Structure 1
């Protein structure tokens, strides 16, 4: 079962605060520092998944001892069982809660709007999560929404407080994960709270519309389209996200649907590739999709958002963490259930510093997610008093597509070895497995 760490500090970050946790045994003392000849590995939400081991194939043992953070709340076992009812092969639940909530919140917003018009749905989304009458499942929330009553949805990831004015979580929870025996060890998972409840929106949403004829609105079913990473470097996360979207749609419909009609879910691939994602968006627009759930990667969202806005559709991502998206020009049509990396940067810095490193290398994929989180972690290390000359920043170009050669990090691995780092944080997706193998091939001794 997961462990919870008691909070021990509150650090302001981007108008939010992160509650830092002490170690599981209750001590603030760092773990034994690594020796000069060994390096500890750390990861992030893009690679801390059981399926990441498959990327290393017969070298998966290199992951043993790797730690990292992931936006995640403690998941109810009943929720996991329902997800496995959709996909019995599930081994990861990464962003499942966030995907489920994105679909349910969209359905509730449409019901309150009394229409499936995307711009009207968008006006209701923040209000669905703030103030109002609290409800915790699709059925009870939809029942209240049909009566035109203001609601405060608390679901799988939206648990402590609601969205900010710009449509992202004001608070979040992070899990600290550990690889043991080539898979994540649930017994070592710890959770830390993040954010500031006072940052939740206090604006009054438009009054919910109670349809004149009972349940029905404009007679057009709510159509949701996936823009999730079925293929590409982030595909290791698709299983949990796809299952969660399917489950949420099923449970919304079991509760009577939206505006008297069953909601429709249309799968779609973002390919972790801008061109694939743009083609999927165009297809969804042609099919009449109202709300697009995705994209998986922040960089893909940046690439497709202008297309989505131009088409007057709504984009709702369960996994974008790029802090820069908080201020993106979206015409009020972009939302996310994943917290921005201003919060995760502090959580990662805390995890690394607890192990008492002397020199840290931060390796990031060269895109808005990788470089953004890299800078957030660097800033938090500096804020904690870690000298700038003890941190080395490196980036790599991710493959353009599945046909491109894998990441060649041999030169970077040699730099890290020569630098004498005893901690290496790897910010990337599935392709970052080649960073780990390059380190090992360069003679870097990975601590297990």
Structure 2
């Protein structure tokens, strides 16, 4: 609590009047009470249990940190099915989106009657709109084989389908809380965003698909962050894709054949990702699931389009990708940050901060979301004197040196921020360390 000079003088006078009735009249405690505490906030890139692990013996620094991520309340049955694929799974971030990206791709191929990526791409948006609602691969495939139009609704696609741009029209966001060096599920809150009327109303091209049509198995390749700064998100992404492949094949596969999965790493690195994309194209992969980070997808999209393949990400959120030059071949099940920014700004504002620092990874994801949040805060009355923007270079490759944010931490301390939003992946744990090392007074809940 902050005490004004007048109230502090009155308090000292009252203590004097009580003479020695209490020893709590000392000046030290009053000075301590004026210290401005700083709350930490995060985003989908770092609000996971693996983020605390990045801090090792200083993991308690994130206790009390909270932030947003695209997340719907996951059914317990879905969680159990994911755990059957990976019993060691510690969190479900983007698992539902990964599952749905694979399922939607396979349903579109079944409707198209071919594994040709261009034909599949023309059916993807329609899979999620204006048909008979279905919620499992088996149910949807049965309807398609009976000649019915479908409207896929499942774990991440719930209220409305895709827009014309091939991304969710609506989204559900979760506010997550670190407590005891782990996310406390009991404190998770959900809020909806977006507009159902934004879903596409365009009818996909009709297909005359003869029974048993096809030209070989549908091949889906991974472009997921097995290594690099976003590797902390890999286990749930991998579990979601594996579960989808299993359940599609258990339901008879696509066009009479089992779907084939080809593994691949994006390395959270454009060079690694480009090499993986090239291998997938050479191997005849039709649909590429990924990349993990928006900046990586932006870096490889031209290669994917030139190769005539589909790029379908479960975790890209950069708003800039909505209008990417993709020749109709890029899709995502993660909602754009134009929606997340509003939810995130609301979470921060509810705590009543006076000055806010926003630290962002210097790429399309970090700087894009930083700009959206800044705009939302500006609309709420936070001008340039109340918001400080900082960024850092994430580095490339496993051998990149740790982020040095010591100067940025000093700037935040001098600015007098009482709220710090960190937009980044696993590497952004260095920002938390730097704040603590600079004696930025993290709020009691954050220690």
Q: TM-score, normalised by structure 2?
A: 0.91
**Contact 1:298/1:320 (<8 A) preserved:** yes
Distance in structure 1 (CA, Å) of the matches to 2:215 and 2:416 = 65
* Equivalence for 2:252: 256
Runs of 4+ in 1 over 6 A off after TM superposition: none
CA–CA separation in structure 1 for the residues paired with 2:437 and 2:322: 39
Shift of 1:445: 1.2
**Stretch deviating more after TM superposition (171-180 or 380-389):** 380-389
Displacement of 1:218 in angstroms is 2.1
Deviations 1:408-435 (A, max 9, x none): 0000000000110000000000000000
Instruction: In structure 1, list runs of 5 or more residues that go unmatched.
Output: 1-33
SS of structure 2 residue aligned to 1:440: helix
Structure 1 or 2, whichever has the larger Rg, is 2
CA distance in 2, matches of 1:198, 1:131: 12
How far off its partner does 1:400 sit?
1.2
Structure in which a larger fraction of residues adopt strand: 1
- CA displacement 1:84-122 (0-9 Å, x = unmatched): 001000011000000000000000000000000000000
SS at match of 1:51: helix
User: Take 2:96 and 2:208, find their aligned partners in 1: how far apart are those partners?
Assistant: 28
Equivalence map 1:187-206=2 (5 Å): 187-206=186-205
Which of 285, 293, 301 does residue 289 from structure 2 map onto?
Answer: 293
Instruction: Say yes or no: does 1:345 pair with 2:341.
Output: yes
Partner of 1:383: 379
Query: Match of 1:84?
Result: 83
How far has the Cα of 1:387 moved from its partner? 2.5
Pair 1:392-2:388 in alignment = yes
Superposed CA offset, 1:157-199 (max 9, x none): 0000000001000000000000000000000000000100000
1:38 counterpart SS class: coil
1:326-352 per-position Cα deviation (integer Å, ceiling 9, x unaligned): 000000000000000001111010000
Quote the RMSD (CA, aligned, Å). Answer: 1.0
Cα separation, 2, equivalents of 1:427 and 1:166: 25
Task: Measure how far apart 1:360 and its partner are.
Answer: 0.2
Within 5 A, what are the aligned runs for 1:213-228? 216-228=212-224
Q: Spell out the pairing of 1:398-417 with structure 2 (5 A cutoff).
A: 398-417=394-413
Work out whether 1:164 is the aligned partner of 2:163. Answer: yes
Alignment TM-score, normalising by the size of structure 1: 0.91
Aligned residue among 237, 242, 263 for 2:238? 242
Question: In structure 2, what is the Cα distance between the partners aligned to 1:35 and 1:427?
Answer: 29
Residue 369 of structure 2: aligned partner: 373
Structure (1/2) with the larger helix percentage: 2
Matched with 1:423 is 419
Output aligned runs, 1:426-445, within 5 Å.
426-445=422-441
The equivalent of 1:137 in structure 2 is 136
Deviation at 1:217, TM superposition (A): 1.9
Report if aligned partners of 1:44, 1:426 keep a CA contact under 8 Å in 2: yes
Alpha-carbon offset, residue 366 of structure 1? 0.4
Deviation at 1:35, TM superposition (A): 6.5
> C-alpha separation between the residues in 2 aligned to 1:36 and 1:266?
55
Deviation at 1:286, TM superposition (A): 1.1
Q: Equivalent residue for 1:177?
A: 176
**Which shifted more, 228-237 or 203-212?**
203-212
> Which deviates more from structure 2 when the two are superposed, residues 373-382 or residues 147-156?
147-156
Aligned residues: 412
Cα shift at 1:38: 1.3
3-state secondary structure, aligned to 2:154: coil
CA distance in 2, matches of 1:187, 1:420: 32
Residue 148 of structure 2 corresponds to which residue in structure 1? 149
- Tell me by how many angstroms 1:268 deviates: 0.6
